[in-house]
């Protein structure tokens, strides 16, 4: 997989974005000074086979669970949206709704969802940015990643986790994370309509 370096990119940020390390990126691209990368040059991403530029999600409007601009996975299209996702998802939706109602603020979506996960017995170590949860959940056997269109995301029943890419979230460098509540709503640090801007990854508790 190759990536064209954009203004403001750093090797450290790109390593976190693609689930690799600075040393692996430097070695794969013959970079002797990790603090110096040149805008417009292409980087080879170790272990990735797709090619794209910043902000470009593959799949023509699909949530980027299979090679978009933050992480990659073997997520498969879900097909028909079920009416529910089971007990773990129900517990997560309930705890997320309670947490969002009690917080009722903005700017703390990662904290709200992390607390909801803990309350539902699905503890995940806290992370500094919402978009970082994508790669963590993708490696967690308690969650299954699915590939959905934006319209399907809005139809999700309670208990799915939506993670949005930092680089495609307007005005928000940390991205966004929320738990679906059904009826087109989501809970994070407050309750709102489901957002489908940018690139989404969707995870279902199993």
Asked whether residue 76 is assigned to any structural domain, the reply reads no
CA–CA gap between residue 42 and residue 163 (Å, rounded): 26
What mean pLDDT is reported for the chain?
80
**∠ at Cα 58 (18, 130), nearest 5°?**
45
Model confidence band, residue 75 (pLDDT cutoffs 50, 70, 90): low
**What are the tens digits of pLDDT across the range 150-173?**
888 999 999 999 998 866 666 678
- Strands 76-77, 51-53: pairing is unpaired
Domain span at residue 159?
Answer: 87-205
Domain boundary among 54, 75, 99: 54
pTM of the model: 0.64
Among 40-44, 53-57, 122-126, whose mean pLDDT is lowest?
Answer: 53-57
- CATH code, domain with 175: 3.90.1720.10
What's the structural domain count of the chain? 2
Residues 98 and 195 in one domain: yes
- CATH code, domain with 22: 3.10.350.10
């Amino acid at each position: 997989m190759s990536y064209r370096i954009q203004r403001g990119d750093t090797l450290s940020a790109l390593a976190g974005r693609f689930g690799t390390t600075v040393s692996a990126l430097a070695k794969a691209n013959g970079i002797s000074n990790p603090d110096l990368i040149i805008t417009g040059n292409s980087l080879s991403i170790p272990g990735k086979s797709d090619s794209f530029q910043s902000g470009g999600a593959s799949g023509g409007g699909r949530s980027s669970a299979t090679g978009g601009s933050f992480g990659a996975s073997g997520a498969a299209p879900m097909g028909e949206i079920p009416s529910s996702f089971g007990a773990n998802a129900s517990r997560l939706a309930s705890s997320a709704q309670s947490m969002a109602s009690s917080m009722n603020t903005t700017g703390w979506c990662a904290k709200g969802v992390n607390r909801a996960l803990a309350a539902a017995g699905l503890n995940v170590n806290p992370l500094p940015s919402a978009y970082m949860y994508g790669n963590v959940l993708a490696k967690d056997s308690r969650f299954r990643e699915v590939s959905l269109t934006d319209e399907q995301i809005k139809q999700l029943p309670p208990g799915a986790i939506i993670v949005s890419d930092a680089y495609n979230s307007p005005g928000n460098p940390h991205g966004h994370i929320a738990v679906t509540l059904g009826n087109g709503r989501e809970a994070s640090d407050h309750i709102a309509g489901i957002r489908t801007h940018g690139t989404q990854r969707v995870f279902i508790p199993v």
